[in-house]
Amino acid sequence: MSRTTPIVFPQEQRILTALGERLRLARKRRRLSNAAVSGRAGISRTTLYKVEAGAPEVTLGSYMRVLAVLGLEGDLNQLAADDRLGRKLQDLALEPQATPKRRRSSPPATTPPAGNPL
C-alpha cells in the first residue's frame, strides 16, 4: 500500500518550511541533537529531518510530538483560535433578513353589467 503525498500549494509549502525551520532553530537553541529529539518524540531521525524541512507528508502527530519535546505544544492551541472570517460569516447569517415590502394590489374595480338597470 503506497502513500500519496498531499497536494500542497506554494504558499502553504512556504508556511510548512518556515515552521520546520523554526522547529530546527528551537531544537538547536536547546542544544538537543537530532537523535535526542527523535528518541524522545518516538519518531525516526528521518521523520524528524522531514519535520524540520516542512514536509507535507509527515503527520500532524509527528509535528505535535516534536513540539512537545521542545516544550512548545501550547503553541498548537493558537492555530485557528481567532477565526475572524468564520465569526463574520456567522454574524451575517444571524442578522435579520430585510424582507422587501410587497405592494398590496387593490381588488379589481367591478362595473355593473351593462344592459338591465335596476
The domains of the chain are located at 14-74
Residue 55 in 3-state DSSP?
coil
User: Residue 107 above 90 pLDDT?
Assistant: no
Helix (H, G, I), strand (E, B) or coil at 54: coil
pLDDT tens for 18-72 read: 999 999 999 999 999 999 999 999 999 999 999 999 999 999 999 999 999 999 9
Place of cell 514536509: 55
| Residue pLDDT, tens place only, 61-100 | 999 999 999 999 998 888 878 888 888 888 888 777 666 6
Extract the runs of DSSP E, i.e. beta strands, from the chain: none
- The amino acid sitting at 22 is R
- Can you tell me whether residue 76 is helix, strand or coil? helix
On whether the CB atoms of residues 38 and 45 are closer than 8 A, the answer is yes
Question: Into which CATH architecture does domain 14-74 fall?
Answer: Orthogonal Bundle (1.10)
Three-class SS state of 32: coil
Three cell numbers, residue 45? 531521525
Q: What is the reported pLDDT for 113?
A: 63
Which pTM does this prediction carry? 0.70
